[in-house]
Chains A and B, each alone.
Chain A
Amino acid sequence: MLSSEIDKLAKVSLIGYPATGKTTVAKLLARNEIDRLYFPTHGLDLKTIKLDDYILRLWDLGGQQSYLKTYSRDYLLGSDIIFVVTDSTPRNVLSSRELINYACHFVGKECPIIAIANKQDLVKSEGRMDYKRVEDILHVKTYGLTAINPSERLKMINIIKKELNKMAIRRRLKE
């Protein structure tokens, strides 16, 4: 692979507890069909997505405790961006705070950890937290999302593009 091609590779990891919507976010980005049936990801699922000049390797990590304990250390290494996905329920948001602290141990400061406050369509009907409230608790940049809505793909793409631009600057500064 040419060095210019390597420069355009980015590893994006999705972590979070079970049923928060990590796979749905991955499917949203990959333009895969999104259904409402939930089936847990076992271990991890990899997807490759072309975004402008970039080739994104999406690592969708299963949220069960044994997967997180056993594999997250190795799988998170080398990540360029980590998304912590929460379903915006108060309990899950608080648990996600622990997950962010955990992820911080394995990656350097140059890898941003960003929260996705998913299932924002349920803020009013089910009393889930809006993304600003989630951000106050998690203390990391947080974006609200409804990943089951395909029209939110552009929003997610723009979030990643913004982070990729920052990543490109960081890489240039390193050189």
Chain B
Amino acid sequence: MNFTENEIFGAALIGFDMIDGPFLKWKKDFSQVKNSVNLDDFAMNFYLAFRGGNESVKKPRAILYDKFYIVAFPKDLELCCLFMKPKNAIDNNINQLNKIASRIITEMEIEEPDDKNTDDSDENTIEEIKRLIPNLLNGTKMTTPELRKYFKLSNSQIWKIMSDLENSKKIRRTDKKGRSILWTAI
């Protein structure tokens, strides 16, 4: 890549939980430059700034602040934010930044432990997830790993939920995508 460490000084991945909303999933500082933004507090603001409203509304790709700018790349419900020092024009860099964001998302998926953020899934939350999944699958098909991204659930928890929903005839298997089962609402 043509970027120096000084140009990208940080990155963050903001996830979206269907019940709680946006949350900071991952962050990393690439240089000694101190990130002046408290990402834990601002994750939701960034998420809304880049993705607010409904899908049909035009969204910004970058937001320029006083001493830095953020370029954001959405993927499904996640948003990868790259924190940059404004040296080069964003237009020239956008494709390269997109590749970096994709790599971060991929690395994040590989690194993500199976049981992360899953301790607080109480019975009410599980029941609420069971209400939401048929809505997500209404008129569309998704694999279990794709659905898992919408909630803070472990692999075993999502499988238990899918199995319960299948038994109660709320969802059904339609096909396979690679090794994963595709589901749809009944």
Contacts and interface: CB of A to CB of B under 8 A. Distances in A.
A binds B: yes
Binding site of B, secondary structure by majority: helix, strand, loop or mixed?
A: mixed
Nearest to B140: A37
Interface in B132-171: 132, 135-136, 138-140
Given A23-B54, A91-B127, A91-B128, 20 more contacts: A17-B128, A19-B18, A19-B135, A35-B139, A36-B139, A37-B140, A40-B77, A42-B16, A42-B22, A42-B47, A42-B48, A42-B53, A43-B52, A43-B53, A45-B54, A64-B17, A64-B18, A64-B21, A65-B21, A67-B21
A40 B57 contact: no
Contacts of B19: 18, 64-65
**A interface: dominant SS:** loop
9 contacts: A17-B128, A18-B132, A38-B136, A42-B47, A42-B54, A45-B53, A64-B18, A65-B21, A92-B131
A2 to B, nearest CB: 29
Given A18-B132, A43-B48, A37 B53 contact: no
Name the interface size band of chain B: 20 to 34
Contacts of A89: 131
Q: Closest 3 A-B residue pairs measured CB to CB? A: A64-B21, A66-B21, A19-B135
